Structure 1
Amino acid sequence: MNSTAQHLPLAMQALRAWAAGAPLILDVSPGEREAMARLRIETAFEDPAAPSPFQSLYRIVFARQRAAAEAVRADLARLSTPSRFYKGAAIVQDVLGGEPFSLMRDVDLVVPSDRASLARAVLRHHGFRQADFDTAERALRSYDPLKVAAYEDDSYELYAFSRIERFPLPELLAGCPELWQRAPIWLDGDEVLLLVTLDVHLRAAQDIPAEHLWSGPEDRPFVDPSVEAWLLATRYYLDIARQRPRPVLRDLFYLARLFPQAEIDRCVALATRHDSLPAMFYTYEFLRRLGMPGAALPETVLTDGNRRNDFGWQYGRLWGGVDGAPSLAA
């Protein structure tokens, strides 16, 4: 059994507590923390009022990432181009009170597809490049423009934009070597090197129109929680069902707080429209049976809808269980 699998019961315990609204606050061992880091939930055990150096670092990193994104959004607004935070960056700010509980590797933004060229120009003005990071050289490596064009020609997003920021090593984080050399941060002498990456989305997916990302008041800075919940539940469930690598549990922690703030009837309506009712039903019911507040979804949600993407209960597989209703949540 690998170390991550060995610590999955602890992760399950934390998810159950988180879903019920009473986070599991405890001291974890270095081995447990490393395992939780691979699941992207390493500070889900912490008291925000008494942050560890890890949580302090994540706050610093996210503050700088958010500031970079806000500067881009401000220039886009001056050019009459709307934008919104999307996915993790939206959830952390809109639902979690600005508290990330792992390193945010990038920040996702949504812009209208007909303003993609303008968004690209604004990002370049702010020092961002469509380039990959060379960890050995600690520098950005230019990407082949033809490959960028090919990627964007068949994608719902632009190729990622990155820039490097450097800032002095904060005193409270000195002497914590285990914090460094993990994307997107590296220690370089007495400076911190931060790779700030912005992902610009033009729509949610190839087969989902952009209109859902723009629902709600025009000046709303975040994608609506109901839309986020439906999209994230769909992505997560289908990735597990199709056996794509998805050991990251952070998304389930996100969903356990997203669903209570979402309009569940609206989530179901969106799932009905886009043939994703099974993902919505199984994900919501899994978390609800863990203790997440909310009314039960009737099984008629499944039987009355399109079951083309119905792969049954999948979530037991995350903990090495068998398919079936999540009795493991009891």
Structure 2
Amino acid sequence: MGEQRARRNGPRRSPSMAEVAERAGVSHQTVSRVLNDASLVKEETRLRVQSAIKELGYRRNFAARVLATNRSRRIGMVTAHLALHGPSMIALGVQEAGHREGYDVSLVGLSEFSLEALQSAVDRLYDQAVEAIVVAVAHREAAEMTRSLQLTIPLVTVQGVTAGAPLTAGIDQAAGAELAVGHLLDLGHRKIAHLSGPLDWVEADQRRAGWRRAHERRGLLPGPELDGDWSADSGHAAGLMVADDPDVTAVFAGNDSMALGLLHALHERGRRVPDDISVVGFDDVPESAFYWPALTTVSQDFSELGRRALDLALAAVRGDEQATAEPIEPTLTVRASSAPPSHPS
């Protein structure tokens, strides 16, 4: 009978803020202050209101909050290639930073990257009344496309950025590559190949530049360059070519997935790592410590990148649209895949 009455009367109505105020014995304004983390509320009162919220199952009405405060406390984020380690970790870093600051982060992932797809993602975020947008797309055309958008809210760019540009946050990819290649050069390697990511990605180009710069600083010529696409499959194909070049004693791979495929190919061809060929990757994915052998690789602080991106977004919301952030310096994690060459040049 009770179930029939519930079906007849429809779904249960959500409790209102006024009901929370009545249950807690406070005013509507006091409930609002508690919900907005205002400091002018006694701790005893705050706990009473929070208890009433929990007892009644009150859920804040998003639209009403926006109308009342003209603030959504929501940041939008657009990214692509979430199946890859870097983009997924950047998205996680921004979301975690947002939550620490009391902001929700609405994420739109792009399955393809084009101006139309980017505009559609921005339109979706506008519908959610976001206060700013973070774009984390490393394609070469991304910067130009974002500049062409007609925006009335701040936009922060992450990945493939120019150091010192306003509202941009990034990790110094070239410096990370220099760390990796410098490590190999310091070990005594002189024929260091590079397996690059797709060069329409700014970050792949920056890592390639770091590989070249490390050699130039020492007055040396770099080894051969091989084209990859971030996948282990492309690393495997490159590894088969490297295995047939007796002069190459080390390889700097543009990411850890390609390094994994490379290691597999070298093992197939009977080339020992690091005895015959040293391998260094980039990203320090959680699995890299369990590759065989454990992979020497460049580590990136994605949590710090997310914090800086969010800080820039909030600074812009407050009116500082020229806010800048220093690029984050990566670090090198040395493991068993790199060692001095068995026959130094």
Larger Rg: 2
Give the alignment's TM-score, normalised by structure 1: 0.26
Instruction: Please give the TM-score of this superposition, normalised by the length of structure 2.
Output: 0.25
